[in-house]
Amino acid sequence: MADVTATVNRTDDMIVCYSPTMITTNGIWQGDNPLDYSLPLFILQLTLVVVTTRLLVFILKPLRQPRVISEILGGVLLGPSVLGQNLHLANLIFPLRSVMVLETMANVGLLYFLFLVGVEMDLTVIRRTGKKAIAIAIIGMILPFIIGCAFSLILHHEDRQMNRSTFVLFLGVALSVTAFPVLARILAELKLINTELGRMAMSSALINDMCAWVLLAVAIALAENESSSLASLWVILSSVFFVVVCIFIVRPVISWMIRRTPEGESFSEFYICLILTGVMISGFVTDAIGTHSVFGAFVFGLVIPNGQLGVTLIEKLEDFVSGLLLPLFFAISGLKTDVTKIHGALTWGFLFLVIILACAGKIAGTLIVALFYQMPLREGIVLGLLMNTKGLVEMIVLNVGRDQHVLDDETFAIMVTVAVIMTSIIAPIVTHIYKPARKFIPYKRRTIQRSKPDGELRILVCIHTPRNVPTIINLLEASHPSKKSPICVYVLHLVELTGRASAMLIVHNTRKSGCPALNRTQAQSDHIINAFENYEQHSSCVSVQPLTAISPYSTMHEDICNLAEDKRVAFIIIPFHKQQTVDGGMEATNPAFRAVNQNVLANAPCSVGILVDRGLNGSTRLAASQVSHHIAVLFFGGPDDREALSYAERMSEHPGISLTVMRFIAGDETVESTVEPSSDPNDPRILTVITDSDREKQLDEEYINDFRMKNSNDESIVYTEKIVNNGEETVAAVRSIDSIHDLFIVGRGQGMISPLTAGLTDWSECPELGAIGDMLASSDFASTVSVLVVQQYVGVGPQEDGLGTPDSPAPPIDQYNSLLQMNRRPPQQRGPAMYSP
């Protein structure tokens, strides 16, 4: 190595020589070891970090742990605490010479992530938060800050070069901050996001976050210039000057760029490139004046106006930055954490004392304010616990402290351990001690058939994307809202809970209408809400209440079913998981939507309709006077078909609707089919429910006769009967129906073992639609007809009136049918109750 230029990296106890020319390898066939070169080594390190982090996210998911815990633990596992115990392996994968490249990339990732945090943060929210949230945030910071200061006096060693006041400030800030993005994630996981408690915690955390940034800037200014108090003053003054320049010069320039771009047009690459370069310039400037570079990026993000530019920047950067580069920063923090440096039982005891007292400080501070504002004691304690969430800001404080030699290895390891333990215990404790009271009033109108014809009909509409909106609005308009029987519509926008911060800010419902959307999710939500509010204004006798559910898809059905129960809904409409393509075929939009639909069918407290959307009158919304539909009901018998006919009968009262009811009757050659004796009745693949077929036939006859009597003089209703002997004849009869119809309403057909559909289920792509629904929804059927597949809620016994949510988590899809079998069985045939009130 004598002929190679060597650069010296001096640490406390060793000198590391490395070659600046050894970036890429000549290849293993030339005898080179790829790990001796910086680029292949960095790629390996990055891959290891991402894979380890993702694996931990998967493992800790059942424990409801936020992603930040997995990221820090991933770093700890790869660092000296675990992997570092094998010195050969540690020197091979994370040699000292590679740390500089790793830290540089981690800080670039951090720079852009905090720029995105700034872009997404809406400062107007802080101006509108109430006194209660401000009091909780400030007093919730003061007490832990005092405790942090007290501990720092014990932890501070006299031989340290750093002055005591800086050390006190760093530890105080580290213990008093609350991580806003991590808290939002925890609240959404615990389904507390839309509660009063959740909104209070979010508002307080947002204010706390802003205070933490100011304290961090001050702490860094003091840390880097402990030798001269005058230098610290210059750092603070120049930081204030930087903020002023950003507000009064940079913001107007960016606003000018926005005005130059016509509405609806995408921003030019030049503008985007200019802004992304501005992030690095801001980082350079703040680093040069003595504040950390992330402070500049964060302030630069804050001055970008909310709106389409913010959405564009987030979409371009978010996945790459938060998915790939940010885990590097947490991994670096973990790599610096050596748990073995925490020596002796006394230090470990001291560590747990720090955790208990820091938690207690936050809880006590929050509780004082909560009791002053007469909040319940338990809510005050839970709020205090939630405010203990730690995350990115604390890790930045600790890293800066360690880099500036304010914190030694032992203190750093203690504080990282404190952050991990404090954040990881919050979700389990809150789940255990806080169960919001669910006051469900039993209600009987759980189906359209049982709803009063002269009473209000309550419908819960679930929407994934704005594409679902026009057809659903046309369907609601066709449902004939009238003064005698108005319709109350609850519109639920279903948003997947991801680790991304942009999905989180939608829950901050303090945003005034008319403000620009912060991200695509919020823009979609605004689009959906505006469409339904417009429908409400132009339609008498319809009231609309928009809501948003943010959940992982695996538990989204709980939100839907709880809301239906809460609002005493009679009918849930949810979109089918496939949508029509240009050539008329059907393609799946998202496989997770299907799981949501199946879980809703299995757990719904009322009737459910799955809408296969093929455009009801195209994609335009029709006024009440323009509605003109030809609707066909295919009636085979059973509770689901009776419910389908009830809904169609209500629609037929609309003057613009023609209804054809086609009843299929078994011919003389029909062979009654039953479940094969060899089949196991508990086999979840059998999509049947044991019912009293004679009683069902009697109910069908009574219902059909009543329907015909009531509508005998109505020319818009046509009733026909088709005699068929088997599944093939049924298919042929359905295919022969006139093509004038634009909506089929069919029952799901569960609970009926019908010879008329025998053999059809063998080829079902989507058994959740039933035999007929699946056939109508398939790609090879008429491509212009929308289909509504209806399942009636049949379990209205006294014990079901207080129906709650399942105690167990969401059932896997392969168990879905057996669960459904249980839910659909008449009360006397059920086993132990599956629901807790």
**DSSP output for 677-710:** TTS-TT-TT-------HHHHHHHHHHHHHHHHHH
Compute the distance between CA of residue 176 and CA of residue 366 in angstroms, rounded to an integer: 12
Looking at 599-613, 637-651, 786-800, which range is the least confident one?
Answer: 786-800
The residue length of the chain stands at 837
| Greater model confidence, 783 or 200 | 200
Compute the distance between CA of residue 821 and CA of residue 532 in angstroms, rounded to an integer: 35
Closest C-alpha to 737, from 716, 722, 757, 724: 722
pLDDT for 240-265, tens place per residue? 999 999 999 999 999 998 888 887 67
Compute the distance between CA of residue 630 and CA of residue 740 in angstroms, rounded to an integer: 7
| Greater model confidence, 17 or 501 | 17
186 falls in which pLDDT band (50, 70, 90)? Answer: confident
| Greater model confidence, 486 or 500 | 486
pLDDT for 268-306, tens place per residue? 889 899 999 999 999 999 999 888 888 899 999 989 887
The pLDDT score that the predictor gives to residue 782 is: 59
What domains are there in the chain, each with its CATH number?
34-433 (1.20.1530.20), 457-509+519-669+692-791 (3.40.50.12370)
Q: For residue 17, what are the β-bridge partners?
A: 8
CB 574 within 8 A of CB 620: no
The pLDDT score that the predictor gives to residue 720 is: 87
Neighbours of 122 (CB within 10 A): 20
User: 786 CB contacts (<8 Å, ≥6 apart)?
Assistant: 471, 475, 611, 612, 613, 614, 615, 616, 742, 743, 744
The pLDDT score that the predictor gives to residue 504 is: 41
pLDDT for 435-457, tens place per residue? 765 555 566 667 888 888 888 88
High-pLDDT (> 90) share of the chain, %? 10
Compute the distance between CA of residue 331 and CA of residue 333 in angstroms, rounded to an integer: 5
Mean pLDDT of 532-539: 86
User: 470 CB contacts (<8 Å, ≥6 apart)?
Assistant: 531, 615, 616, 618, 619, 620, 621
pLDDT of residue 193 exceeding 80: no
pLDDT for 688-736, tens place per residue? 444 457 788 888 888 889 888 888 887 888 888 888 877 788 788 887 7
Closest C-alpha to 556, from 595, 613, 590: 595
| Greater model confidence, 401 or 441 | 401
Compute the distance between CA of residue 113 and CA of residue 111 in angstroms, rounded to an integer: 6
| Greater model confidence, 522 or 494 | 494
The pLDDT score that the predictor gives to residue 669 is: 65
The pLDDT score that the predictor gives to residue 127 is: 66
The pLDDT score that the predictor gives to residue 580 is: 75
pLDDT mean across residues, the chain? 77
Compute the distance between CA of residue 638 and CA of residue 103 in angstroms, rounded to an integer: 67
Number of helices and strands in the chain (H, E)? 28, 14
The pLDDT score that the predictor gives to residue 590 is: 81
pLDDT of residue 626 exceeding 80: no
The pLDDT score that the predictor gives to residue 147 is: 81
pLDDT of residue 640 exceeding 50: yes
pLDDT of residue 539 exceeding 50: yes
Looking at 34-48, 504-518, 542-556, which range is the least confident one?
Answer: 504-518
| Greater model confidence, 498 or 402 | 402
The pLDDT score that the predictor gives to residue 572 is: 94
Dihedral sign, Cα of residue 718, residue 719, residue 724, residue 730: positive
pLDDT of residue 783 exceeding 80: no
Residue 433 burial by Cβ neighbours in a 10 Å radius (0-12, 13-18, 19+): exposed
pLDDT of residue 5 exceeding 50: no
pLDDT of residue 9 exceeding 50: no
Mean pLDDT of 86-92: 85
The pLDDT score that the predictor gives to residue 20 is: 61
CB 224 within 8 A of CB 290: yes
Neighbours of 428 (CB within 10 A): 12
